[in-house]
Structure 1
Amino acid sequence: MAKCKVVMGDISKMHESDLSEFRILITERLAALDAEDDLGAEGQQTVELDQQAVGRLSRMDALQNQAMANANHTRRQSERTRLNAALTRMDEDEYGYCDSCGEDINPNRLRLDPAALKCIDCAKG
């Protein structure tokens, strides 16, 4: 993996004009993930047997809902890890460079996925 260490004076034009935009996108997405965690917390709790509910199907439905809530929580944690890693790369002046080839990642790609690690050519494989 080619790592392209950049000195502040050598930061590309994209970085000068767009780095703050990407930082804002990332922090907004992190805040949205926190809000989703708050909403999904109830669904992750232990499934209790509801004596008023009708039998086995109600319990299976509750277990399925719990499994989906847990899967969504895991997905949010994974995305949160990727976004925090992107913030770290920003702080280390390594953000926006492909981990594979070292070239700039297209700003439009970063707008769609601000945590992208590879340029589109390397991502295609």
Structure 2
Amino acid sequence: MTEDEARAALLARREQLAQEARISAEGRAPVTLQQDSVGRLSRMDAMQQQAMAQAQDRRRKSEAVRIEAALIRLNEGEWGWCVTCGNEIAERRLAHDPSVATCVACAGGGN
């Protein structure tokens, strides 16, 4: 994967995450506690769905942070090099996820 391909993939994924966040905003909204309009089980289900939407939003935000860090590394000429040990990150690993910051050894706790 070239740096241009990585940049394009990262930017596309960043936009996709932003779009997913806009779509799921309603699912993260507070659950109303009106006994007369929603039964107890329906409220519990709504609260569970809200919790799942919030967890998914946290994962999206975490991925967005990794993408931004990868874009910074690209701009600084550091993309493709492990931020822990400085070794080159395997091309197949970068092709799978261009936002990775560590080599396999460091990701596994080997260093």
Task: Please give the TM-score of this superposition, normalised by the length of structure 2.
Answer: 0.89
Q: CA offset at residue 104 of structure 1?
A: 1.1
Deviations 1:67-96 (A, max 9, x none): 111111111011001100100111111111
Match of 1:12 in 2: none
Match of 1:10 in 2: none
1:78 aligns with 2:57: no
Match of 2:83 in 1: 99
Counterpart residue type for residue 52 of structure 2: M
Superposition misfits of 4+ residues, deviation over 3 angstroms: 49-53
1:87 aligns with 2:71: yes
Please identify, of 95-104 and 21-30, the stretch whose mean Cα deviation from structure 2 is larger: 95-104
Aligned residue-pair number = 108
Unaligned runs of 5+ in 1: 1-16
Unaligned runs of 5+ in 2: none
Q: Distance in 2 between the 1:109 and 1:117 partners? A: 10
Matches within 5 A, 1:112-123: 112-123=96-107
Question: RMSD between aligned alpha carbons?
Answer: 1.4
Q: Distance in 2 between the 1:80 and 1:111 partners? A: 17
Task: Please give the TM-score of this superposition, normalised by the length of structure 1.
Answer: 0.80
